[in-house]
Chain A
């Protein structure tokens, strides 16, 4: 405890101003000093900053212009000393002089609302042009005119759009030496956008709408920059690659803000951007394998960022199931798009595809586990749909005779089978949807085994081990599901196990299960169709007899 009176006074002031204690609570702590402390505390706490005093907008703009003018004028003086032997008329760089005059004219005219030739003409200027600083000057003045932080964020976003358009025009004109300046100004503009959104949040303003707008706009800017990238020569591409990083960072930042309000919408936009990167990879797959790698790297980052949105949703307890379902569906679809990329690109880009596939599967697994905590049956249904997609890939590649791809797809299939095990465990742990989940597994594994049996007949010898391994996984899955169904007293919904080729070692003999009746369509489908058609063949949540516990 402070010993000196002035320390006690200082401590009390800090505590009261920080809201830790009231005046009375502080005085109770120092009863002997009450008479001295109280009047001083009351006077001190009456002193408040004058909230209603603000500079006039005219002064704010005028002072800014004058300050900038002096800054530029002093720079010219510095340059003059460096050029003392050059004629006086060329001492002050014409470009700088002109641009300052332009700034002043533009500022004055913009503030007065009259427009004006210079300010108007500057609007078409590009980085590196004489009038470009006038253009930026008019934008800065617009930023200090009245409006709240949301208005300013939206305004700065339009400036970011302009910077992207400038990069496109520079590329068209072959002026690639000015791209870096445009990119830096783009970064500045997005930086301002985000600062304003943060400020708005700090003031308690609703930021969901503007955050969504920024998220969507930065995605569009990213696509626009792809086109610029394709236009510029190789040596200028780094500038555009970095500009795209700015777009992605800007979007992430906006999505984090959006996720605080609507995590589902944030996840949806994030997954759409991820998919856009995969489509970009397809678009350049044949022509530019380095760009395929860039797009896939971006995909990985975006996918990983989805985890943060998921965590925000969980932290808020808001939109959790929607977010995870969305991510699970998207990542499963991404695996199919990645198949397409892989089929097109040369070998050099294949390691990037492997990494992207891993990112997809990790994303899928994480989403399913979280979703299982909310809705195990839905999680299992989505997982089985993803597994069937992998089996379709296996079938297609087996028909093509691509052993490596068959093996890869089967490996993914087995990984998803492990997700299934975890979902089952989560369902059992929660005591929720157990019968539904296990019935889904039993039915799906039956179909899987049938399809894999057909594949086994098709594939070359090198791929047989992988197929047999997958069949063993399916058998195990079937076995676990049927055991679980028997345990909970619902053996009547167990589908019959399909025949397994003799050469496939089965870990445990599964006794034939008498089943007079099966869920609608499952047996017929398993016997009748050879081709699995995505989600159409995914066993839906059983109705009627399957029941929920």
Chain B
């Protein structure tokens, strides 16, 4: 019912992005407040430890501030745009640390409290899946994470990776077949 209001009061994030483009630091601070959790989750999923997740999350927002002058309304919405930046930073991160493996890191490092048995099983299942996903290569890993962890649409992933939507579906198919084989082989 809020769509009736034409002014700033209704614009929320779009309004803040607009102010941040004009180098309003406070508006950018609010965008940080809105998205920091999601960015952190995404990064943590991919790097598997708190220290790197924090470092990359912070870098994501600094990069976003540096690049905000180039943000256009036709780009992805604000949150997706920030996710794109974090995604690229993670790629760089792995590129520069090829020798290090994060696959065995404790995925639920600061799980607040152990739940009932079923919840523990579910977490174990997720941890196992995550390990296999992180063994996928390049675009396959990205497509799986963007689709299932970040909830991007196929067209959004295509736009982000600068590929055709059909190609994204092909990559996803390939990735799922590989995941199936890995899981069947007990490769975890």
Q: Is the CB of B151 closer than 8 A to any CB of chain A?
A: yes
Does B149 touch A at the CB level, under 8 Å? yes
- Do the beta carbons of B169 and A253 come within 8 Å of each other? no
The A/B interface has a contact count, at CB < 8 Å, of: 152
Closest Cβ of chain A to B136, distance in Å, is 11
Contact between A40 and B45, CB atoms less than 8 A apart = no
Question: Once bound together, how far apart are the Cα atoms of A260 and B11, in whole Å?
Answer: 20
How many residues of B sit at the interface, in one of the four size bands? 35 or more
Decide if B129 touches A47 in the complex (CB within 8 Å): yes
Closest to A44 in B: B176
Whether A67 contacts B9 by the Cβ 8 Å rule is no
Q: Is the CB of A39 within 8 A of B170?
A: no
CA distance A188 to B12 in the complex (A): 10
Q: How far is the CA of A514 from the CA of B5 in the complex (A)?
A: 59
Q: Which of B54, B126, B173, B183 contacts A63 (CB 8 A)?
A: B54
Q: Is the CB of B58 within 8 A of A256?
A: no
Q: In the complex where A67-B32, A71-B65, A253-B2 touch, is A47 in contact with B149 (Cβ < 8 A)? A: yes
Q: A71 near B28 (CB under 8 angstroms)?
A: yes
The answer to whether B163 has its CB under 8 Å from any CB of chain A is: no
B125 and A53 contacting across the interface, CB-CB below 8 Å: no
Query: Measured between alpha carbons, how far is A130 from B121 in the docked complex, in Å?
Result: 55
Q: Is the CB of A187 within 8 A of B9?
A: yes
A10 and B29 contacting across the interface, CB-CB below 8 Å: no
Q: Answer whether residue B164 sits at the interface, using C-beta atoms and an 8 A cutoff.
A: no
**Of B36, B41, B123, the contact of A60 (CB 8 Å cutoff):** B36
> A49 and B1 in contact (CB under 8 A), knowing A64-B29, A68-B25?
no
- Find chain A residues with CB under 8 A from B7 CB: 249
Chain B residues within an 8 Å CB radius of A192: 30
CA distance A40 to B54 in the complex (A): 33
Complex contact A198–B2 (CB within 8 A) = yes
Assess the A9–B1 pair: CB atoms within 8 A.
no
Find the residue from A9, A13, A53, A54 having the highest chain B CB count within 10 A: A53
Cβ contact of A48, chosen from B1, B53, B126, B180, cutoff 8 A: B126
Q: Which of B103-148 contact A (CB under 8 A)?
A: 107-108, 110-112, 123, 125-126, 129-130, 133, 144, 147-148
Q: Is the interface of B mostly helix, strand, loop or mixed?
A: helix
Is A249 in contact with B110, judged by CB distance below 8 angstroms?
no
Chain A count of residues within 8 A CB distance of the other chain: 56
Residues of B within 8 A of A59 (CB): 40, 54, 57
Q: How far is the CA of A14 from the CA of B62 in the complex (A)?
A: 34
B4: Cβ under 8 A from any A Cβ: yes
Partner of A140, one of B10, B26, B62, B111: B26
A5 contacts B by Cβ under 8 Å: yes
Q: Annotate B160-188 by CB proximity to A: 1 below 8 A, 0 otherwise.
A: 00000010011011001101100100000
Hey, which chain B residues are within 8 Å of A49, CB to CB? 41, 45, 148-151
A66 in contact (CB, < 8 A): yes
B81 within 8 A of A: no
Known A-B contacts A48-B126, A71-B65; the reply to A257 vs B1 at CB < 8 A is yes
Indicate whether B33 reaches chain A with its CB closer than 8 angstroms: yes
Q: Would you call B41 and A140 a contact (CB within 8 A)? A: no
Cβ contacts under 8 Å, A191 to chain B: 8-9, 11-12, 15
Min distance, Cβ A102 to any Cβ of chain B, angstroms: 14
CB distance from A155 to the nearest CB of B (A): 13
- Decide yes or no: A6 and B173 within 8 Å by CB, A53-B108, A191-B8 being known contacts: yes
With both beta carbons as reference points, the residue of chain B lying nearest to A64 in the complex is identified as B32
Interface centre among B2, B4, B62 (most CB of A within 10 A): B2
Q: Mark A2-32, 1 if CB is under 8 A from B, else 0.
A: 0011110110011000000000000000000
- Taking a contact as CB atoms under 8 Å apart, the answer to whether A253 and B41 are in contact is no
Is the Cβ of A66 less than 8 Å from the Cβ of B58? Answer: yes
CB A245 to nearest CB in B, in angstroms, measures 8
Contact A6 B9 (CB under 8 A): no
Q: Is the CB of A50 within 8 A of B45?
A: yes
Q: Are A253 and B9 in contact (CB under 8 A)?
A: yes
Q: With a CB–CB cut-off of 8 A, which chain A residues contact B107?
A: 50
B154 part of interface (Cβ distance < 8 Å): yes
* Contact assessment for A53 and B44 in the assembled complex, using a CB-CB cutoff below 8 Å: yes
Which parts of B64-87 form the interface with A (CB within 8 Å)? Answer: 65
Q: List 24 A-B contacts (CB under 8 A).
A: A9-B169, A43-B176, A47-B144, A50-B44, A50-B130, A52-B112, A53-B45, A54-B37, A54-B40, A55-B57, A63-B61, A64-B33, A67-B29, A67-B32, A70-B62, A144-B33, A192-B30, A198-B2, A198-B12, A252-B4, A253-B10, A256-B1, A257-B1, A260-B1
14 additional A-B pairs beyond A10-B173, A47-B133, beta carbons within 8 Å, are A39-B180, A47-B129, A47-B148, A50-B41, A50-B149, A53-B45, A55-B36, A59-B57, A144-B33, A191-B9, A246-B9, A249-B7, A257-B1, A260-B1
Chain A residues packing against B (C-beta within 8 Å) = 4-7, 9-10, 13-14, 39-40, 43-44, 46-50, 52-56, 59-60, 63-64, 66-68, 70-72, 75, 136, 140, 143-144, 187-188, 190-192, 194-195, 198, 246, 249-250, 252-253, 256-257, 259-260, 308, 312
